[in-house]
Chain A
């Protein structure tokens, strides 16, 4: 397949998460050859930054600190998308291992409560409910389902653009200026997942880039 023109440079942060390969393959299916990196200077030159993650918040933050990535992630030079644990790390902190996170989005990540019929981890396909329109959700129909696997979740705040429900409501997709996150796994969520990645990278059907949206939402 011929790569489309003007493909942005995507830095895919190697933060030790096991889904790094899956995210890279999902981008490859869109014609994007992502740069897998844990180097600050490479991240600083990217047009898009993706922080994937699987595992626990404590070890995740420790790894980012050890690799010297906290500064570049706390002031990202380009649109940043956190996936699963990567999204949770965008918040102030997490109850999981009681850890301080990147603090890009206000709020605390907490454990999903178990109740009769509500199993934790929340594992499987669940519906997305959009809370407001954003180019990040372009082309994703109301009620479409995405694949989730997690035990902790972020609260529904004013940064939440799509929510999901499993016993309680929680943030499924967040966005604040250049900062975005998906609690579900776009790399494993069939068509809606690849659409979200396309939108983030700026390959959406209407070819509206998130950069433009971010600048509009957050004038310098």
Chain B
């Protein structure tokens, strides 16, 4: 049976891992490769590196650190942020990333999703969706959320955008519920359940993890394939090995992590 995945997300700025609350106030948390190795050894199933500076500033992703991670890591990882063309995606994938995630550039030009799927296959293409509930009660997408001063609201309803993105060729969707992000009150189960109903490809929950129970809830009640979190892993308040043991005893299928170090590392 396919395991549900636990995915730590590392926000990257200038080649370092940083963290923030509600996308603000970033502080340095350490070296990318060191943190990647730590999470891999704790039993993370996959990592997401989100270049939070790339998209708002119109920069390219620096592939130097992507290659450093790819050389060391023996679990899959995805790179998000700053990818707006097939050529840029190719550089990131050839540097060793397994998937690329696109968000604002896909909203600006939805055909990008199809171009990436044609070039690399749907399994390499992740659609990142930042979503917020508006005053009228509907969820709508946001873009450029890496920088609050430039974040844009769109008229596009979140659920419609997810369905459109999958039709265009997204092989996975990460739904980041901005309203619950960074405040550790739990995932937005209602929104994720609604997204699940329109999303035939793997769906990753993002935003709101604060306790182990939140992970049990999101897998059992929203039927997501993976749960992404950042700060609770970075500050050690949730240990991934313990989280997986808790999930397993709650009946959620997970990959149990009894993990020797990365091949070649131990004897180095």
**Bound complex: CA of A216 vs CA of B26, how far in Å?**
60
Mask, B62-81, CB within 8 Å of A = 1, is: 00000100110011100000
Is B142's CB within 8 Å of the partner chain A?
A: no
Mask, A115-131, CB within 8 Å of B = 1, is: 00101111111110000
Q: For residues 156 through 201 of chain B, which have their beta carbon under 8 Å from a beta carbon of chain A?
A: 171-172, 200-201
Mask, A98-132, CB within 8 Å of B = 1, is: 00000000000000001001011111111100000
Q: Is the CB of B96 within 8 A of A122?
A: no
Q: Is the CB of A1 within 8 A of B267?
A: yes
From known contacts A119-B202, A124-B202, A149-B98, infer whether A22 and B225 are also in contact, taking CB-CB under 8 Å: no
What's the A-B contact tally at a CB cutoff of 8 Å?
Answer: 115
Is A199's CB within 8 Å of the partner chain B?
A: no
Q: Is the CB of A125 within 8 A of B3?
A: yes
**Bound complex: CA of A21 vs CA of B226, how far in Å?**
26
A45: min CB distance to chain B, Å: 26
**Bound complex: CA of A190 vs CA of B75, how far in Å?**
6
Which residues of chain B have a CB within 8 Å of any CB of chain A? 1-5, 40, 45-46, 67, 70-71, 74-76, 90, 93-96, 98, 120-124, 171-172, 200-203, 223, 225-226, 255, 259-260, 262-265, 267-268
From known contacts A119-B201, A145-B255, A166-B2, infer whether A124 and B74 are also in contact, taking CB-CB under 8 Å: no
Q: Is the CB of A55 within 8 A of B264?
A: no
Max chain A Cβ within 10 angstroms of own Cβ: one of B96, B200, B263, B265: B263
Task: State the majority secondary structure of interface residues on B.
Answer: loop
Which residues of chain A have a CB within 8 Å of any CB of chain B? 1, 18-22, 25-26, 28-31, 54-56, 114, 117, 119-127, 145, 147, 149-151, 165-166, 185, 187-191, 193-194, 198
* Residue numbers in B under 8 Å from A21 (CB-CB): 67, 70, 94-96
Q: Is the CB of B122 within 8 A of A124?
A: no
From known contacts A29-B74, A127-B1, A190-B74, infer whether A117 and B223 are also in contact, taking CB-CB under 8 Å: yes
**Bound complex: CA of A55 vs CA of B4, how far in Å?**
24
Which single member of A26, A56, A124 contacts B45 (CB below 8 Å)?
Answer: A124
Q: Is the CB of A114 within 8 A of B200?
A: yes
